[in-house]
């Protein structure tokens, strides 16, 4: 694959704790990933993104790192990672790994030294500040995990900054030695052969050195959580973050074919993503949160796509990940089981029993929509099975955010339950022992082995969609023009000329009229490349949850 293999590619996100357990401790591991890589390759994806597997006290399940160049023993060894990487490459899969650079765990040797005094060699490696005269924190900055973003350190008689848990202190990117150490981490993994990095909280690297108070958010943009009541003018998107990422890009350019995917959030995330991906010295692509919330209507989808049509930047899209409820539940209402018929480029009609029992929009509606977008795509493990969100009882909850906000917000455990491999095996084939989170009984019916034999299953139709995206250059790299976006009906044209593809969707739960702007015969079954359930003549209306790809006619 060429140096820009990532443009239009689809990556499969693996959350190691919940993917496959080979040593019987109830926690997924790197050998488990290696064992299941042939399954991942069979989907037709271009690579994998592996969430953190580094040594960690696991307060935030790997996003609190104590050694950026190692492997936590619960996941295996560095040799296990090398074996995984070699197997992935043999199967034609690229490997992108998480890099958590904005903060470390409090147990990290760097922080242990930094906290010991104000004079040690790493005294400035973290963000330290004196208390106000009344002893309170230096400013009003708030943690995304709740409460002030400052924790008192008696050894230094100063506060340290933590944008997340108090035991996750923020590194000081205004310190040249910190930047050099982080770039050294990047080189370590690049030299090992990884194909890129997903950069956690990439626009939180630097802070305002004057420690000015964040202003209140405008009234219409405030959330219920106190941290969402501020405009993060001095804790996000500082010029020094851009400057560091330019240095990182220079390092990446020394290793052809590697990619950086920046996790970019904020109140105006779209504009920020565009800014962070402009130019040959910027991030290769930015990971969007745009579709990780409430179900969008057609206009919302169009508004997210529009700015990228004329931008030199490149977006990345996902509908599910390890931090949000699964899309099969988040965007669909659960009802009694319903049947759909499919007809695509790979053969005769087949019947699929809808896994979540949603009325109208189906997991395949969302998978088809994802495949229609111009950008780099991410599929979260189990999304290809149509897994719904799990309900984890309070006594089994692990997520610190969920434990702090229960019962109003159950946190992230429900999207992190074990991957179901074998429907009749204990714990759905994930492990031989009780897993760290309970295997969802509802997921066993959707296990990979059960869907393998059904041509119309979500799994096999996801393979068909990924094959379609590979076979149609217009879908992978072509231009994207919104032809219609009203209510729940969305029509996109991907590519140009005789190879263009028309993508048509009804994102709602009721029938909708076919747009009058579509030319007569545009949805002719003879032009159909893949459809849900549009292969048969459909009259004047699009069924609820309809999705289809058609050869475009001029």
Residue of 98, 153, 170, 200 with catalytic role? 200
Beta strands 376-380 and 315-318, pairing class: parallel
Confirm if 10 and 45 have CB atoms less than 8 A apart: yes
Question: Which residues does 158 contact at the CB level (< 8 Å), separation at least 6?
Answer: 118, 128, 129, 130, 131, 152
Alpha helices, DSSP H, located in 472-510: 473-477
Query: What is the DSSP annotation of 397-410?
Result: ---HHHHHHTTT--
Quote the DSSP letter at residue 259.
Answer: E
CA dist 100 and 162 (Å) reads: 14
254 catalytic? Reply is yes
Question: Which residues does 147 contact at the CB level (< 8 Å), separation at least 6?
Answer: none
C-alpha 396, offset from chain centre: 24
CA dist 199 and 97 (Å) reads: 9
Quote the DSSP letter at residue 134.
Answer: T
φ, ψ dihedrals at 387, nearest 5°:
-65, 135
Helix orientation angle between 458-471 and 363-372, rounded to the nearest 10 degrees: 10
Q: How many CB atoms lie within 10 A of CB 336?
A: 7
Nearest partner of 143 among 102, 101, 97, judged by Cα: 102
- The strands making up 339-344's β-sheet, listed across from edge to edge, are 347-353, 339-344, 528-532, 547-551, 501-506, 489-494, 480-486
* Three-class secondary structure of residue 341 per DSSP: strand
268 catalytic? Reply is no
CA dist 7 and 313 (Å) reads: 11
Confirm if 196 and 96 have CB atoms less than 8 A apart: yes
CA dist 527 and 540 (Å) reads: 17
CA dist 177 and 285 (Å) reads: 26
Please report the beta strands in 216-310, taking only residues with DSSP state E, as ranges in sequence order: 259-263, 285-287
Nearest partner of 162 among 115, 122, 98, judged by Cα: 115
3-state secondary structure 80-103: HHHHHHHHHHHCCCEEEEEECCCE
For residue 307, give the H/E element and its range: helix 298-309
Confirm if 223 and 258 have CB atoms less than 8 A apart: no
Confirm if 364 and 460 have CB atoms less than 8 A apart: no
CA dist 417 and 332 (Å) reads: 20
CA dist 398 and 413 (Å) reads: 7
Residue of 254, 395, 498, 554 with catalytic role? 254
Catalytic residues: 200, 254
């Amino acid at each position: 694959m060429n140096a820009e293999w990532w443009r239009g590619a689809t990556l499969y996100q693996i959350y190691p704790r919940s993917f496959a357990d080979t040593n019987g401790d109830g926690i997924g591991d790197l050998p488990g990933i290696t064992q299941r890589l042939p399954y991942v390759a069979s989907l037709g994806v271009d690579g994998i993104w592996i969430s953190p597997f580094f040594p960690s006290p696991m307060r935030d399940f790997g996003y609190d790192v104590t050694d950026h160049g190692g492997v936590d023993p619960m996941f295996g060894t560095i040799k296990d990672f090398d074996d995984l990487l070699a197997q992935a490459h043999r199967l034609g899969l690229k490997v992108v790994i998480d890099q958590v650079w904005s903060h470390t765990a409090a147990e990290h040797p760097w922080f242990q030294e930094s906290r010991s005094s104000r004079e040690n060699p790493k005294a400035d490696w973290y963000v330290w500040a004196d208390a106000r005269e009344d002893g309170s924190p230096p400013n009003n900055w708030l943690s995304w995990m709740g409460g002030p973003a400052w924790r008192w350190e008696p050894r230094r008689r100063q506060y340290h900054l933590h944008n997340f848990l108090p035991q996750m202190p923020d590194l000081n990117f205004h310190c040249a030695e910190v930047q050099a150490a982080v770039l050294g981490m990047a080189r370590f993994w690049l030299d090992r052969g990884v194909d890129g990095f997903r950069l956690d909280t990439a626009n939180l690297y630097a802070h305002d050195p004057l420690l000015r108070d964040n202003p209140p958010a405008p009234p219409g943009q405030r959330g219920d959580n106190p941290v969402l009541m501020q405009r993060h003018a001095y804790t996000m998107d500082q010029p020094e973050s851009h400057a560091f990422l330019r240095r990182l890009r220079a390092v990446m350019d020394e290793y052809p074919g590697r990619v950086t995917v920046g996790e970019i959030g904020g109140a105006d995330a779209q504009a920020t993503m565009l800014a962070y991906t402009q130019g040959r010295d910027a991030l290769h692509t930015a990971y969007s949160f745009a579709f990780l919330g409430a179900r969008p209507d057609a206009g919302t989808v169009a508004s997210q796509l529009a700015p990228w049509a004329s931008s030199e930047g490149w977006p990345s899209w996902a509908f599910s990940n390890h931090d949000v409820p699964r899309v099969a539940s988040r965007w669909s209402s659960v009802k009694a089981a319903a049947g759909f018929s499919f007809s695509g480029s790979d053969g005769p009609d087949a019947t699929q029993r809808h896994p979540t029992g949603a009325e109208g929009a189906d997991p395949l509606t969302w998978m088809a929509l994802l495949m229609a977008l111009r950008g780099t795509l991410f599929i979260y493990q189990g999304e290809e099975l149509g897994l719904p969100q799990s309900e984890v009882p309070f006594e089994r909850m692990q997520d610190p955010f969920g434990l702090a906000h229960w019962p109003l917000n159950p946190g992230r455990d429900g999207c992190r339950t074990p991957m179901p491999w074998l429907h009749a095996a204990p714990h759905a084939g994930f492990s031989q022992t009780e897993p760290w989170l309970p295997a969802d009984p509802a997921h066993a019916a959707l296990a990979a082995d059960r869907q393998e034999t059904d041509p119309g299953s979500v799994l096999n139709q996801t393979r068909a969609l990924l094959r379609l995206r590979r076979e149609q250059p217009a879908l992978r790299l072509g231009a994207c023009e919104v032809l219609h976006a009203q209510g729940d009906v969305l029509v996109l044209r991907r590519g140009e000329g005789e190879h263009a593809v028309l993508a048509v969707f009804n994102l709602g739960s009721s029938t909708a009229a076919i747009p009058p702007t579509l030319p007569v015969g545009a949805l002719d079954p003879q032009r159909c490349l893949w459809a849900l359930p549009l292969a048969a003549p459909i009259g004047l209306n699009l069924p609820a949850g309809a999705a289809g790809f058609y050869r475009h006619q001029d």
